[in-house]
Amino acid sequence: MAKPAILTVDDDPAVSRAVARDLRRQYGEEHRIIRADSGAEALDSLKELKLRGEQVAVLLADYRMPGMNGLQFLEQAMDLFPRARRVLLTAYADTDAAIQAINIVDLDHYLLKPWHPPEEKLYPVMDAMIEAWKAAPDRPVTDVKIVGHRWSAPSFRVRDFLARNMVSYRWFTTDDAEGQRLLTAAGLTGADVPLVVTAEGKTLVAPSEAELAVQVGLTTTPASDFYDLVVVGGGPAGLGAAVYGASEGLRTVLLEERATGGQAGQSSRIENYLGFPDGVSGAQLTDRARRQAIKFGAELLTACRVTQLAVQGSARVLHFEDGTTIAAHSVILATGVSYRRLGAPGLAELHGRGVYYGSAATEAPSCRDQDVYIVGGANSAGQAAMFFSRYARRVHLVIRGRSLDASMSRYLIEQIAGVENIEVHPCTEVVAAHGDEHLERLELRHVDGGPARTVDATWLFIFIGAEPRTDWLDGVVQRDARGFVLTGPDLLTGDERPAGWLLGRDPYHLESSVPGVFAAGDVRADSVKRVASAVGEGAMAVSLVHRYLVEGQ
C-alpha cells in the first residue's frame, strides 16, 4: 500500500525544493513527499492520487502564486481530499489574509516564512497536522472504483461483470460525494458514466466487457494458436472439462464470453452438490473450479465471444467476434443455456433498471426492506427466493403452475415453506411492467385469464425457460428444434449415421455430428439440468476426447 502523501506547492523553485527537502528529512520514511511548482500542477497530482485511491495527509501551499494562489488551490483541493489537513505558507505581510482564510477554506494553520529552524517552526506544526489527520484519515481505496447512476442498465452491467468475475470493486453513485470527487478527478460530469477507475488510476468511460476485462487483469487472448482441446463455455460442464482435460495432459483452453460459472455461478446456495453437506454458493464453487483448472495448466480466457465453428481437415477452428481464430484437435461445447425473455410490455425497456434475468446478487443489499418479485418455479428461482428473503421485506414467487412440486427439488420446497416472508403465487403470470426511470409497478393476472391486478414493485428477477446459445453452430453441428446439440445415439436414424459423417464408427455418446466436437451440460439435448450432472458430463467428454485423439480420427 502506498504511503500517505504530503504535498507542497510553491512557484519559487528554490523555496519548493527547500520545503520538500525539510519534509523528506523528517517524514520521508512514513510519507510520500510530493512537490509542485504551481497550483495547476499540484491539482493534477492530486487528481492522479484520487484516481489511484491513495491518501493525502497534509497540503502545504504558498499564498502568493501567479494564476492560482494558495487559497484558491486549497479550496479546489478540498473537493478531492476533504480530510487532508491544509497549511498556508505566508510572508509576514500576508498574515491578515491568512487569518481571514481560516474561515474561507477551513484552513488548519498558517506558517510564516522563513520557517528555519524547521525543528522549531515547521516540524511541530506538521506533527500536529499529521496527528489530526491520523484521527480521521482518508481511507485508501485500492479496489476498482465504479461511478454510475443508481438506475442505469450500463452501470449494472459493469458491476455484474466484475462481480461474476470475482473482481473486487467499490460502487459510488453520482449522488455520492466520493463519486463526485472521482468524476472531478477524471475531468468528467455525471453524464459520463459509468466511469470505471482501475486500481492503477486509469479511467474508462462506459467500457465494453472486453475493454474492461483487459484493464482489470483478466486474460482475454490465447497464448497459442493451436491446442489439443478447446472448451467453449465456463459453466460447471466447461470448468469440469477444463480441469479434467488439463489434468490429463491435454493442452487445454477454456473460452468464456462473460464470466465463468454460468447460471450455477449466480446461485446463492447449492445444497444438493456432492461433498458439500452445508451447501456452497455458486460463486465459491466457481472460484474453486477456476483455481483448480489453472493449477493443472488450463488457460481461462474471458470476454471471448465465439461466432463460428469451422472444420479444416483434422483441425476444428473457432472464429471470434474480433476476427481472430483459434484451432484445436477437439472441441467441447459447454455453452449452457440462458434464461428466456418474458415478452410482457415494459419489461425490455426496464431491463437493468429493476428488471433482471438471473440472480443479480449485486442488487441484494439495495432490496433491503422492500418487496421483491421472482418469476420461475425451478431450483434457480427457489434458491434466489431464499437468498433475497434475507434482505427483502417480502419475496413474491410467481409461478404459472399450481405448485412447485413439478419443477423444484423437495428440499427447496420445504425450505421455502418454512420462511415467513416468502409468498408463492400459483397460476400467476406477469403481463406488464411500468415505470419511468426504473420499475415501479407490475401487472399480474391468473393464467386462465380475468382482470389483471397492479402491485407496487421495484425489483423483478426472472428465472424462466432454457434457451441454448447455439445460433453460431447453424449449418455445422446438428441441433434439435429448440437449438440443443444432438449427440451420440440421438444422431442415428436406424442404422443411418448423420449426414457428412465419414468415420467407420458411430458417434461417441457425447459426440456431435462433427467428429471431435463434443457437447456437455445444459447445451446438450435431453441432458439433466443439474450442476453435478454437468460436471460429470464435462469429465466424461474429456475421456471421449482421449478416445477420439487416439483411435477415432
More confident call, 294 vs 142: 294
156-191: pLDDT as tens digits: 999 999 988 989 899 999 999 999 999 999 999 988
pLDDT interval class at 101 (50, 70, 90) = low
Rounded Cα distance, 100 and 107, in Å: 9
Three state DSSP letters for 211-231: HHHHHCCCCCCCCCCEEEEEE
More confident position, 1 or 227: 227
- Binned at pLDDT 50, 70 and 90, residue 98 comes out as low
Among 58-67, 110-119, 315-324, the range scoring the smallest mean pLDDT is: 110-119
Helix (H, G, I), strand (E, B) or coil at 406: coil
Angle at alpha carbon of residue 15, lines to 9 and 21, rounded to 5°: 85
> Is the CATH code 3.40.190.10 the one for domain 5-135?
no
Domain boundary assignment for the chain: 5-135, 144-215, 226-338+467-552, 355-462
pLDDT band at 544, cuts 50/70/90? very high
Which of the listed CATH numbers 3.50.50.60, 1.10.12.10, 3.40.30.10, 3.10.20.30 matches domain 144-215? 3.40.30.10
Give the pLDDT confidence score for residue 365 in this predicted structure. Answer: 83
Mean pLDDT of 262-284: 85
**CATH architecture for the domain at 355-462:** 3-Layer(bba) Sandwich (3.50)
pLDDT for the residue numbered 388: 94
Do 226-338+467-552 and 355-462 agree at the fold level?
A: yes
Identify which of 56, 62, 49, 51 has the alpha carbon closest to the alpha carbon of residue 19: 62
pLDDT at 28: 96
For the entire predicted model, the pTM comes to 0.85
pLDDT class of 136 with cuts at 50, 70, 90: confident
At residue 527, the pLDDT reads 93
**pLDDT of 512 above 90:** yes
SS (H, E, C) 361-386: HHHHHHHCCCEEEEECCCHHHHHHHH
Reduced to 3 states, what is the DSSP secondary structure of residue 484?
A: coil
Residue 383's contacts (CB-CB under 8 Å, 6 or more residues apart) are 267, 268, 269, 270, 359, 412
Separation of alpha carbons 296 and 302, rounded Å: 18
Q: Alpha-carbon distance 189 to 334, whole Å? A: 42
Average predicted confidence (pLDDT) for the chain: 92
Residue 538, helix vs strand vs coil: helix
Span 461-488, pLDDT tens digits: 999 977 998 999 999 999 999 999 999 9
pLDDT digits (tens, 9 = 90+) for 203-216: 999 999 999 999 99
Least confident window among 56-65, 131-140, 322-331, 385-394? 131-140
pLDDT band at 302 (very low <50, low <70, confident <90, very high): very high
The contacts found for 342-350 with CB under 8 angstroms, 24 or more apart, are 342/375, 342/430, 342/462, 342/464, 344/430, 344/431, 344/432, 344/433, 344/443, 345/431, 345/432, 345/433, 346/432, 346/433, 346/434, 346/435, 347/430, 347/433, 347/460, 350/433, 350/435, 350/438, 350/439
Q: How confident is the model at residue 541 (pLDDT cuts 50, 70, 90)?
A: very high
Res 300 pLDDT > 90 = yes
Q: If pLDDT is split at 50, 70 and 90, which confidence band does 105 have?
A: low
pLDDT of residue 552: 59
Instruction: Give 103's pLDDT tier (boundaries 50, 70, 90).
Output: low
pLDDT, tens digit, for every residue of 215-256? 999 999 999 999 999 999 999 999 999 999 999 999 999 999
Q: Which CATH class is domain 226-338+467-552?
A: alpha beta
Angle (CA) 535-536-537 rounded to 5° is 95
User: In angstroms, rounded to a whole number, what is the distance separating the alpha carbons of residues 46 and 38?
Assistant: 12
Predicted local distance difference test score (pLDDT) of residue 279: 84
State the Cα–Cα distance between residues 357 and 344, nearest whole angstrom: 14
Confidence band (pLDDT; 50, 70, 90) for 272? confident
Q: What angle do CA 171, 456, 369 make, to 5 degrees?
A: 50
pLDDT confidence of residue 271: 86
- Grid coordinates given for 214: 483487459
138 has pLDDT over 80: no
How wide is the angle at C-alpha 230 spanned by C-alphas 228 and 231, nearest 5°? 140
| Other beta carbons within 10 Å of 362 | 16
Q: What does the pLDDT look like over 438-451, one tens digit per residue?
A: 999 999 999 999 99
Closest of 327, 158, 172, 331 to residue 259, by C-alpha: 158
Local confidence band at 553 (pLDDT 50, 70, 90 cut-offs): low
